[in-house]
Amino acid sequence: MPTLEQDKEDKTELRDRIASSQIWRSIFRHGFDDTQRNRVLQMTAGFLLHTRPVKVWTHGIRLRYTWGAGGLTFLMFVVACITGVVLMFYYRPVPEYAYADMKYLKFDIPFGMFMRNMHRWSAHAMVLLVLVHMLRVFLTGSYKKPREFNWVIGVCLLTLTLLLSFTGYLLPWDQLSIWAVTVGTNMARATPFLGHEGPFSEFLPFISPRYDARSLLLGGTIVAQGTLLRFYVLHCIVLPIFAIWFVMVHFYRIRKDGGISGPNKALEPPLVARPVPAGQIAPESSPPKASGALPENQPGQENQSARKSEGESE
């Protein structure tokens, strides 16, 4: 019977054969050798890993510091996108079939209710987590220099998250969603300049109940077929494209700004070993200096030592 050591040797041999094969080497050009150079090459030369940093700050992987809110928000966005694509196969954005399709998805499609609830709760969790993430960024001062631009990107992502939730609320096409969108879009009538009931709208003669910010959202004066189609296009195409673009810029700026910001001590530059002339290396058991002696890094010490050596030679 094969022993445990033989099993380990066989597994090691099999792993080495796979790692040395041409197919494996064409995908992963560098191995996992524990050297600093190979770590960098492994991250920069691989397609799957080149977007990740070679090194990260210690505080950036501490759950008590980051709360994991940013990563969880992105995870909820990915879940919402995947489940949303699945739901698109069974939904028709027309008033005659929208509500019936939701009922069909809920009661007749296998795992349809599970898929719809996954989409719904991931969207709710995304709104909550993005607020928690921005609270953490504010409390830790991560919006300060040099991360001001990335804070603005985060605010844009918060706005897109709320718009995604608002536009998706109408798609079930039931009484709750219709009247909720009616109340929400009525607030657009009070938009300055662009709402026919808002301030300064009298300065724009073409602003009217038929042509203002509210009618632009509804596609008319009431919530009807045009509203459902517009919200569907916004929810499934326009807003996700902008959200994905802003997420890419957000991650890119995190890399370029030095990673996740942390306490001041964590942001201090690392100590660099400077070369010291052989004649100035002190022994480990050197006696303590007199109180009047200059410290080693005091400017002007080398000049005084040079003058003293010249006087002794004379």
Distance, in Å, from the CA atom of 238 to the CA atom of 89, rounded to the nearest integer, reads 18
Note the pLDDT tens digit of each residue in 206-236: 999 889 999 999 999 999 999 999 999 999 9
- pLDDT for 273 beyond 50: no
For position 293, what pLDDT does the model report? 40
For position 52, what pLDDT does the model report? 75
Contact 171, 177 (CB under 8 A): yes
Note the pLDDT tens digit of each residue in 55-101: 888 888 888 889 999 999 999 999 999 999 999 999 999 999 999 99
Beta carbons within 8 Å of 124's beta carbon, 6+ residues apart? 165
Note the pLDDT tens digit of each residue in 122-134: 999 999 999 999 9
**Alpha-carbon distances of 113 from 24, 106, 152, 276, rounded to whole Å:** 41, 5, 37, 71
Domain layout of the chain by residue ranges: 8-45, 62-168
Angle at 233 between CA 229 and CA 238, to 5 degrees: 155
* Backbone φ, ψ for residue 69 (5° rounding): -70, -40
Distance, in Å, from the CA atom of 238 to the CA atom of 223, rounded to the nearest integer, reads 20
For position 2, what pLDDT does the model report? 61
Residue bearing the bigger pLDDT, 24 or 174: 174
Helix (H), strand (E) counts: the chain: 14, 0
pTM, whole model, 2 decimals?
A: 0.74
What is the residue-wise DSSP string for 105-160?
HHHTSTTHHHHHHHHHHHHHHHHHHHHHHHHHHHHTTTTSTT-HHHHHHHHHHHHH
Average pLDDT, whole number, for the chain? 83
Distance, in Å, from the CA atom of 92 to the CA atom of 80, rounded to the nearest integer, reads 18
Identify the CA nearest to 229 among candidates 218, 213, 242: 218
Identify the CA nearest to 240 among candidates 137, 134, 153, 168: 168
Distance, in Å, from the CA atom of 16 to the CA atom of 10, rounded to the nearest integer, reads 10
For position 184, what pLDDT does the model report? 94
For position 256, what pLDDT does the model report? 87
For position 253, what pLDDT does the model report? 92
Contact 42, 53 (CB under 8 A): no
- pLDDT for 291 beyond 60: no
Report the phi/psi class of residue 260: left, alpha or beta, with left for phi > 0 and alpha for psi in -120 to 50: beta
Beta carbons within 8 Å of 88's beta carbon, 6+ residues apart? 236
Question: Thinking of the domain 62-168, which architecture would CATH place it in?
Answer: Up-down Bundle (1.20)
Q: Distance between the two ends of the chain, CA-based, in angstroms?
A: 87
Note the pLDDT tens digit of each residue in 15-37: 888 888 888 877 777 666 667 77
For position 71, what pLDDT does the model report? 94
Contact 260, 66 (CB under 8 A): yes
Mean pLDDT for 179-189 is 94
Distance, in Å, from the CA atom of 167 to the CA atom of 44, rounded to the nearest integer, reads 40
Q: What burial class does residue 156 get, using C-beta atoms within 10 Å of its C-beta: 0-12 exposed, 13-18 middle, 19+ buried?
A: middle
Residue 45 Cα to chain centre, angstroms = 23
